Structure 1
Amino acid sequence: MEAIATQDRITSKAERLRILEQTLIGAGDKGVRPSEIARRLGVRRQTVYRDLRALSNAHVPLWNPGRGRWAVLQDQYVGTVRLTIHEAVALFFAARLLVRMADEFNPHAVSALEKLSLRFPEPVRTQARQAARQMEGSPRNREFVQALESLTLGWIERRKVRVLYRSAEGRAAHPYVLHPYFLEPIAPGLAAYVLGYEETYFRSIVTLKIERMTGARLLDERFEEPANFDPAAVLQNAWGIMGSPDPVTVRLRFTPDVTRRVKESHWHPSQHIEDTPDGGCILTLRVGHTLELVPWIRSWGRSCEVLEPAPLREQLGAEYRAAAALYHAG
């Protein structure tokens, strides 16, 4: 009987902390007095103060806006999320993709995964923790983490970010001041990108790879994001991250032995598949740039033939002839 009573008290406290957290969030920046909370919860003020300490110890960012009021720092906190089993598994899938695709250590991703695992049922919980440990083994890149942190805060708080950026072909790093509008991870290239306005050199909206940034610093200057900016529209014809107002039509012929696999996936919003008499198929796409598409085409080997555009067909034909010569050289 004593064990049941103890469990009831724990559950009651957990529910009280949940209501307290929601009350503080709902009060916004003006906050709420402990006496008001005590009346709402039907407890003494001493209990409210103990609960406030418990929330603070649980890393809920509390502050005093004045006159004995308490509030949550809204811009530093994402509240508790309650998940169904199916929602938890959906997040677990996302976490597994993150682990498989991340090629660099991200301490925030590890921490988030460990916290989410507490909400997962077994055996998902144990496997999520194993995924977090696996991610901890990734190579460390302090500059990347610093750039990601600065750009994240700049994105949320609408603040400019100064970075040094070295392009894939460049030898020297150039200083840019970015207005981060959107952050986008790209699985095929194991990379993260920022979409935003660059004010010192390009003076236009650019897409930059975060891994190529060093010395990132969040500035006090704020910016206004254009009301008509829509990241989905910018990326709608991209195969990965490279969109274009003038997309290219690509037609690929696949052999019968891989046609079922081609049809199993929805590769791109623009795709159209037509069958061929021999049991194969032709996949037609409208993409912003063919550069990101080339590695995917190569992955199919002789089972995929580029029909158009002609420059892409010529490029891959030259690559395959060079590869054949390399293997015949021995």
Structure 2
Amino acid sequence: MPVDEWTKAQRLFAIARALREGPHSVRQLALLLHLTESVDGPTWPGIERTLQRDLNDLELLEPDFERLPGRPPLYRIRTHRTTLHPVETLALHAAARLMYHRSPGHKHHHLQALERLAQWLPERIRPVLRRSASDVGKRHSREDLALEHAAQAWLEGHPLRFEYLAPGGSGQWRPNELEIYLIEAHPVNLDLYAVGYETSFHRALRTFKLSRMRNLSVLPDRSYTIPDSFDPRSYFESAWGVVGAGGGTPMTVRLRFAPEAAYRVLEGGYPNTEVIMHDRYVIIDVRAATDASGLPRELVPWILSWGPRVEVLEPASVRAHWLRELRDTLARYGGNDG
């Protein structure tokens, strides 16, 4: 139906829908609803009076209707979207994007979670989010097999039983039972990890990657509570990624970055780092937990990712491991082009 044939009820619904997305003036509403192509034409005074009457009527019908001070005055209908600070909206968008990246998601609840997060966002950016997530379900990850069980165990307070293949371990699947205190996303690769008290073998706080679990089951006949003594800030204080106090004794690794990488290091954003000096070269100290072998296992791949643009200065054990990795790479691949 053409706009000029709308009934009053249709106009009120259209105005209410616009005001739920954000504040608008009378002129902005007229242009947004295509009631006029210009506010300078001869028909504008009549349109303005009609819209003002509609707004007065809507104020009587809608409890959350608000007139905001200013020139010209703005109108809105308060909702969870119109009252969000822009940074709050950005946080919700980031949560939706994280859900997308972690959802191989042929399951209905993955799509439903994305849709619910999208509903919190302003209408103008909602379509972009939906289009960006249109391929959910076309990817595969073993993490998807563990996510539902881990979420259920965590939210209901029941232990999670599973078999786990630890990297660098015996190569055998080991049974574990975990009272989950927190499910954490890795700050670099966004993989999900369960942090909690392992009761069957370690009897200590441990971190387990969801995608390394198999044969999962929730134990509904047993319950637990998350102790007040568990503080994620303390647990992750020495973590480079997600391996915190459950790992070995933390160590400090000193690194020197070449000029072409220095500016990227100085941009910051890396955990537990301290800049020692910077000129053309940048030297930093990084604090990271170690594994059973005494190496900061989470930190090593990050160091290697810089290639020849970084040098490990100390401790000697980490420098030796770094050099051995580089020599092994050269021995395996470097002789083919000589």
User: What is the TM-score with the length of structure 1 in the denominator?
Assistant: 0.69
Alignment of 1:53-92 (within 5 A): 81-82=80-81, 83-92=84-93
2:161–2:217 Cα contact (<8 Å) kept: yes
In structure 1, distance between residues paired with 2:9 and 2:329: 74
User: After superposition, where does 1:258-277 map in structure 2 within 5 Å?
Assistant: 258-268=261-271, 270-277=272-279
Corresponding residue of 1:311: 317
Equivalent residue for 1:21?
A: none
Report if aligned partners of 2:104, 2:137 keep a CA contact under 8 Å in 1. Answer: no
1:250 and 1:272 map into 2 onto residues whose CA distance is 11
CA 1:237/1:110 → structure 2, altered by over 3 Å: closer, same or farther?
farther
Once the two structures are superposed, residues 150-173 of structure 1 have per-residue CA deviations (whole angstroms, 9 ceiling, x without a partner) of 222222222222223333345543
SS at match of 1:178: strand
Q: Does 1:4 align with 2:8?
A: yes
8 Å contact from structure 1 (residues 99, 134) kept in 2: no
Structure 1 residue 114 displacement after superposition: 2.3
**1:113 counterpart residue number:** 114
**3-state SS, counterpart of residue 222 of structure 1:** coil
Q: Cα deviation per residue 1:90-132 (whole Å; 9 max; x = unaligned)? A: 32234335545x3844744432222222332355212211222
Q: Of 237, 247, 250, which residue of structure 1 is paired with 2:250? A: 247
What amino acid does structure 1 have at the position aligned with 2:9?
A
Q: Flag the structure with higher helix content.
A: 1
Query: In the TM superposition, what whole-angstrom CA distance separates every residue of 1:29-88 from its partner, at most 9, and x where no partner exists?
Result: xxxxxxxxxxxxxxxxxxxxxxxxxxxxxxxxxxxxxxxxxxxxxxxxxxx954445432
Whether the 8 Å contact between 1:197 and 1:206 is mirrored in structure 2 is: yes
The one-letter code matched in structure 1 to 2:265 is V
Aligned mates of 1:219, 1:3 — CA distance in 2: 59
Contiguous gaps of at least 5 residues in structure 1: 13-79
Q: Deviations over 1:146-196 (max 9, x none)?
A: 532222222222222222333334554333222111111114345211111
- Hey, what's the Cα distance between the residues in 2 that align with 1:126 and 1:135? 15
Match of 1:69 in 2: none
User: Does the CA contact (< 8 Å) of 2:153 and 2:160 recur in 1?
Assistant: yes
**Deviation (angstroms), 1:225:** 2.4
Report the identity percentage.
33
Match of 2:156 in 1: 157
- Whose Rg is larger? 2
Could you tell me whether the CA contact under 8 Å between 2:184 and 2:192 is conserved in 1? yes
Q: Secondary structure at the match of 1:325?
A: helix
Distance 2:145 2:326 in 1: 41
Aligned residue number for residue 166 of structure 2: 167
Distance 2:8 2:141 in 1: 47
SS at match of 2:152: helix
**Residue 11 (structure 1) shift:** 9.1
What is the alpha-carbon distance in structure 2 between the residues aligned to residue 211 and residue 322 of structure 1?
A: 28
| Structural mapping, 1:1-330, within 5 Å | 3-6=7-10, 8=12, 81-82=80-81, 83-100=84-101, 102=102, 104-105=104-105, 107=107, 108-139=109-140, 141=142, 144-168=143-167, 169-220=169-220, 221-244=222-245, 246-268=249-271, 270-277=272-279, 279-289=280-290, 290-330=296-336
State the TM-score, normalizing by the size of structure 2. 0.67
Q: What is the one-letter code of the residue matched to 2:249?
A: D
Go from structure 1 to structure 2 and tell me whether the alpha carbon gap of 1:5 and 1:133 turns closer, same or farther (over 3 Å shift). same
SS state of the match for residue 136, structure 2?
Answer: helix
Paired letter, 1:159: H
Within 1, Cα distance between the matches of 2:99 and 2:319? 33
Aligned residues: 261
Q: Which amino acid aligns with 1:4?
A: K
